[in-house]
């Protein structure tokens, strides 16, 4: 059972303010969704978890692998800086500006 | 006067090349429709200034360099970046954001000379099945303005249905291309995961997202797919051509013209009686075309939707961590940096997005990760095995696209779980990565309005060709 303090904790972890008057509705909604998704526990009882191995044909997930490339061919320094900084709400001298975090 | 009602890409291309009408005249027809109808429908968040694109396309035609897509007006969902244009996933948190680059799909269309006519409305960050979660108000169904257009690519589907664009791009994470296509009476295609690059698509659930076309015909969907597919170094999950072909060849010469129907899913709870009746008519039609229909079992598919609502919030909560008021979009000032994060995200995200981020944070938290996220990945494998088994005896699978006809605006907004159930038929293909196409399947008069049905065909990985073949036969193209 999800409680009010759980919602507050999640909101703090997710860096989202939830207004006090909305917390109860969010708590009920998340409770209902968790009850719904809990069904998947039945699915796993049907099969031995360790036996699930996929053939190459089954799905793209069977062939999932890390894709790496060698370091190299860097673009010219500063090539995209101006364009990207133009999106930032606050900048100063080619940097993104944020509030001081060390007092 | 150009008859855009019956226009296809191929027909438009021929007229443009033959000089029957100019790119400008063609685009003007669509702009006229938008002006007349979009005040009611609200498919577009912005209609672009197209002059330069029109001139470029006309030059390509005049100089004999036209491709099939030169001069074709395309509407683009608001979560797909076009360099230099606004994009915002219909969210206040991206208010004012201008895209700094175009993804591969957009670049390919641009090189082909297509015209981007405007950006379309959607559920905020593609979270929803009705476009009612847009921060800019819902898109209404062009067939009945009291009903939803579907979602999350509701704007794209409505744009095509009302003649605001010849084709549109959407994105499909759980049915977001196919369900609105069905609701608006047009064709929607979700392709094999990895066949179309996700670069330039604002991420929702990275293991599920695919860009997909919404069109008036299966042939048009095929043309767009061929134009935008292909590997991309900027999306490491894209398939190389050799990988795509190897996968495709695994399924050749197995079974032909045999369609499986997962009866227990189609006859399940919450599927409207009229949808089932329409579905049975579709089966009869396919039989008359020489297809063999077989009942099949997909025992774990009933867990696809609950598994999805674990994996998707998890992936979305992580993808949406980048929206913090520092790098782009909305910035709400506060006393401390932490306050700025909390306020920007609290005010910038709408209720459904906040709900899913909290849910995702929960299922990924250390105490619950195994019980939820990991388990959902196990279920994913079970479902993949079900399909694997099915492909031994059939080469296509058929279901309705949506469990109901388009519903009324506001009908499902109070209860998130009832909205989630709208994805019951579409979500399995995203879970296992297989391609699926939704095609119109007749209509029904309701309260004096003609509402469209849709059915969808699933095929094995990389067998889009089978979908195009059966889709064309089904629609008599």
Contact list, A47 vs chain B (CB under 8 Å): 382
The whole-angstrom separation of Cα B158 and Cα B276 is 24
φ, ψ of residue B251 to 5 degrees: the values are -110, 5
Q: In this structure, is residue A22 part of a structural domain? A: yes
Q: Which helix (H) or strand (E) holds B224?
A: helix B218-228
What is the total count of domains within chain B?
1
For B138-174, the pLDDT digits (tens) are 999 999 999 999 999 999 999 999 999 999 999 999 9
Q: In this structure, is residue A24 part of a structural domain? A: yes
SS3 B251: coil
Domain range enclosing B205: 4-244
Catalytic entry in B130, B152, B199, B429: B152
Distance (Å) from the alpha carbon of B443 to chain A's nearest alpha carbon: 32
Q: In this structure, is residue A73 part of a structural domain? A: no
Model confidence at A49: pLDDT above 60: no
Q: In this structure, is residue A9 part of a structural domain? A: yes
Q: Across-strand partners of B260?
A: B294, B397
3-state secondary structure B153-184: CHHHHHHHHCCCCCEEEEEECCCCCHHHHHHH
Q: Does the CB of A40 have a partner CB in chain B at under 8 Å?
A: yes
Q: In this structure, is residue B434 part of a structural domain? A: no
Q: In this structure, is residue B112 part of a structural domain? A: yes
Model confidence at A102: pLDDT above 80: no
**Exposed / middle / buried, residue B216 (Cβ in 10 Å: 0-12, 13-18, 19+):** buried
The rounded percent of chain A whose pLDDT value lies above 70 is 79
Q: Give the pLDDT score at A48.
A: 55
Q: Smallest Cβ distance to B346: which of A17, A37, A54?
A: A17
Q: In this structure, is residue B87 part of a structural domain? A: yes
Q: Does the CB of A83 have a partner CB in chain B at under 8 Å?
A: yes
Mean pLDDT score of chain B: 96
Q: In this structure, is residue B449 part of a structural domain? A: no
Could you tell me whether strands B144-148 and B210-215 are parallel, antiparallel, or unpaired per DSSP bridges?
A: unpaired
For B8-49, the pLDDT digits (tens) are 999 999 999 999 999 999 999 999 999 999 999 999 999 999
Is B77 a residue of the active site?
Answer: yes
Q: In this structure, is residue A84 part of a structural domain? A: no
Q: In this structure, is residue B397 part of a structural domain? A: no
What is the total count of domains within chain A?
1
Model confidence at A54: pLDDT above 80: no
Closest-CA residue of A relative to B316 is A14
Check the CA dihedral A70-A71-A75-A79 and report its sign.
positive
Check the CA dihedral A74-A79-A83-A88 and report its sign.
positive
Best probe of the A interface among B381, B383, B386, B429, by most A CBs < 10 A, is: B381
Closest-CA residue of B relative to A60 is B433
Q: In this structure, is residue B148 part of a structural domain? A: yes
Domain range enclosing A12: 4-49
Contact list, A59 vs chain B (CB under 8 Å): 380-381, 384, 387-388, 432-434, 461
Is B206 a residue of the active site?
Answer: no
Which residues have C-beta within 8 Å of that of residue B145, sequence separation ≥ 6? B40, B41
Q: Give the pLDDT score at A43.
A: 78
Query: How high is the ipTM of this complex?
Result: 0.90
More confident residue, B476 or A47: B476
Q: In this structure, is residue B433 part of a structural domain? A: no
In chain A, % helix, strand, coil (3-state, to 5) comes to 45, 5, 50
Size of interface A-B (CB pairs under 8 A): 175
More confident residue, B252 or B383: B383
CATH code for the domain in which residue B74 is found: 3.90.1300.10
Q: In this structure, is residue B407 part of a structural domain? A: no
More confident residue, B254 or B441: B441
Q: In this structure, is residue A12 part of a structural domain? A: yes
Contact list, B461 vs chain A (CB under 8 Å): 57, 59-60
Q: In this structure, is residue A28 part of a structural domain? A: yes
SS3 B131: coil
* CB–CB contact A96 B358 (8 Å): no
Q: Does the CB of A16 have a partner CB in chain B at under 8 Å?
A: yes
Q: In what order do the strands lie in the sheet with B396-400?
A: B44-47, B115-120, B73-77, B167-172, B210-215, B187-190, B436-446, B449-458, B396-400, B258-262, B292-296
The rounded percent of chain B whose pLDDT value lies above 70 is 100
For B271-316, the pLDDT digits (tens) are 999 999 999 999 999 999 999 999 999 999 999 999 999 999 999 9
Q: In this structure, is residue A56 part of a structural domain? A: no
For residues B231-238, average pLDDT: 93
For residues A1-6, average pLDDT: 92
- Residue A61's pLDDT band, with cuts at 50, 70 and 90, is low
């Amino acid at each position: 059972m999800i409680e009010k303090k759980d919602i507050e904790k999640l909101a703090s972890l997710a860096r989202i303010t939830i207004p006090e008057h909305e917390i109860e509705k969010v708590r009920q909604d998340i409770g209902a969704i968790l009850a719904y998704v809990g069904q998947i526990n039945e699915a796993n009882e049907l099969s031995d978890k360790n036996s699930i191995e996929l053939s190459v044909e089954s799905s793209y997930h069977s062939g999932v692998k890390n894709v790496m490339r060698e370091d190299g061919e860097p673009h010219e320094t500063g090539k995209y800086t101006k364009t990207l900084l133009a999106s930032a709400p606050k900048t100063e001298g080619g940097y993104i500006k944020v509030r001081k975090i060390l007092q | 006067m150009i008859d855009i009602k019956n226009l296809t890409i191929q027909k438009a291309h021929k007229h443009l090349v033959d000089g029957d009408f100019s790119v400008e005249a063609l685009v003007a027809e669509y702009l006229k429709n938008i002006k007349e109808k979009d005040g009611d429908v609200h498919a577009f968040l912005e209609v672009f200034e197209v002059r330069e694109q029109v001139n470029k396309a006309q030059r390509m035609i005049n100089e004999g360099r036209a491709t099939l897509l030169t001069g074709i007006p395309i509407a683009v969902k608001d979560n797909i970046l076009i360099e230099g244009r606004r994009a915002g996933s219909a969210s206040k948190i991206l208010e004012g954001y201008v895209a700094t680059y175009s993804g591969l799909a957009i670049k390919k269309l641009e090189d082909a000379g297509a015209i981007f006519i405007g950006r379309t409305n959607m559920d905020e960050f593609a979270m929803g099945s009705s476009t009612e979660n847009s921060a800019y108000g819902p898109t209404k169904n062009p067939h009945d303005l009291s009903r939803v257009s579907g979602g999350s690519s509701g704007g794209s589907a409505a744009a095509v249905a009302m003649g605001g664009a010849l084709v549109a791009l959407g994105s499909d994470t759980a049915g977001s291309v196919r369900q609105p296509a069905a609701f608006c009476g047009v064709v929607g295609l979700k392709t094999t995961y990895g066949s179309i690059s996700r670069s330039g698509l604002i991420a929702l659930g990275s293991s599920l997202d695919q860009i997909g076309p919404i069109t008036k015909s299966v042939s048009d969907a095929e043309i767009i797919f061929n134009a935008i597919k292909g590997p991309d170094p900027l999306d490491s999950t894209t398939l190389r051509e050799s990988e795509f072909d190897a996968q495709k060849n695994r399924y050749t010469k197995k079974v032909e013209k045999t369609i499986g129907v997962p009866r227990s899913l189609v006859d399940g709870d919450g599927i409207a009686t009229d949808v089932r009746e329409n579905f049975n008519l579709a089966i009869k039609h396919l039989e008359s075309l020489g297809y063999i229909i077989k009942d099949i079992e997909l025992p774990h598919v009933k867990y696809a939707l609950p598994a999805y609502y674990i994996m998707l919030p998890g992936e979305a909560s992580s993808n949406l961590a980048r929206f913090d008021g520092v790098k782009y979009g909305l910035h709400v000032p506060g006393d401390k940096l932490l306050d700025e994060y909390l306020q920007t995200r609290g005010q910038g995200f709408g209720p459904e997005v906040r709900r899913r981020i909290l849910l995702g944070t929960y299922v990924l938290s250390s105490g619950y990760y195994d019980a939820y996220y990991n388990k959902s990945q196990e279920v994913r494998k079970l479902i993949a095995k079900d399909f694997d088994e099915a492909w031994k005896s059939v080469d296509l699978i058929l279901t309705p696209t949506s469990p109901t006809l388009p519903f009324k605006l506001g009908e499902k907004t109070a209860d998130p779980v009832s909205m989630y159930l709208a994805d019951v038929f579409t979500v399995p293909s995203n879970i296992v990565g297989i391609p699926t196409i939704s095609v119109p399947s007749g209509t029904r008069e309701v309260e004096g309005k003609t509402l469209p049905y849709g059915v969808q065909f699933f095929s094995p990985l990389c067998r889009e060709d089978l979908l195009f073949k059966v889709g064309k036969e089904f629609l008599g193209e």
